[in-house]
Amino acid sequence: MTRNAEQVADGFMFPESPRWHVGRGAFVFSDIDRGEIHEWRPDAGSRRLYSHTGMISGLAFETADCVLVCDARECTLIRVDLTTGRCLGTVADFGPIRGWGINDMVRAADGTCYVDSVDFDFMAASRGEIERKRCRLLIARPDGSVAVASDEMFFPNGMAITPDGRQLIVADTRDRCLGSLEIAIDGSLGPRRIFASFPDELPDGMCLDASGATWVANHGRVVRVSFDGVELDEVFTGEARATACMLGGSDGRTLLITASDTMDREVMRHHPSGRLFQVHVDVPGAGLPSVY
């Protein structure tokens, strides 16, 4: 089924990493380049909860009022209290294995965090000044130790964990595919199995639904794909480029989509075009990084 999404909020620079928490009754998302965390409620609009000193990206709930956040350029995970709008300190530091930056993340039920790295100067590469290269998927364990979880992907990006906690689903933006990696008891990852390919698209942020399907933002559209690679539904956001999506709402069927007209940081700095879209779908959300 093909659907068109409805714009519900604007005024952001580069919104990304939306997550739903049933206890808050709200979606929480980052505005990466402004270093902000916002929440959006289907019945009350959006409000800013936190401002950081630099770029932030991936988010993961510890509780309804506390999130872990990727400090993109410092390559650390920080803890933020959403009630007070205060940073409570650093949880993990990827310094020993850091690349140029970190991006998205997902936190498993035992507190293990999977964080994708950007191992080249993303800004310079987007301007065509340097070559892109293979990137690593990192792991931060509950004790704060860090390691490389996988090095077989080119640009690991959006991630989700299946409700049984046994599979990590990863969008590889440069390899233009979705893959599944088995999660071992100790949190380590098995080899990737590619189950969906998008030769002409750029898969990015994602979420899972209760049927086992994956919704993934492919910049030009948001597509729902089964675990055997069959496209089931698609959603369009007009001229805006969809960067991430997440299911939530009172019945779990509101698909919130973050989007922007451009990926060019210089353009968005002078002409911010970040906005949110929503569409009601048939199957509710399931699995992490949201909390249902």
What are the DSSP calls for 113-178, one per residue? EEEEEE-S-HHHHHTTSS------EEEE-TTS-EEEEE---SSEEEEEE-TTS-EEEEEETTTTEE
Average pLDDT of the chain, as a whole number: 94
Q: What is the pLDDT of residues 244-285, one digit of tens each?
A: 999 999 999 999 999 999 777 777 787 888 999 999 999 999
Q: Which residues of 63-80 are buried (b: 16+ CB within 10 A; e: fewer)?
A: ebeebbbbbbbbbbbbbb
Q: What is the pLDDT of residues 133-191, one digit of tens each?
A: 679 999 999 999 999 999 999 999 999 999 999 999 999 998 999 999 999 999 999 99
Domains with residue ranges and CATH for the chain: 2-286 (2.120.10.30)
The model carries a pTM of 0.94
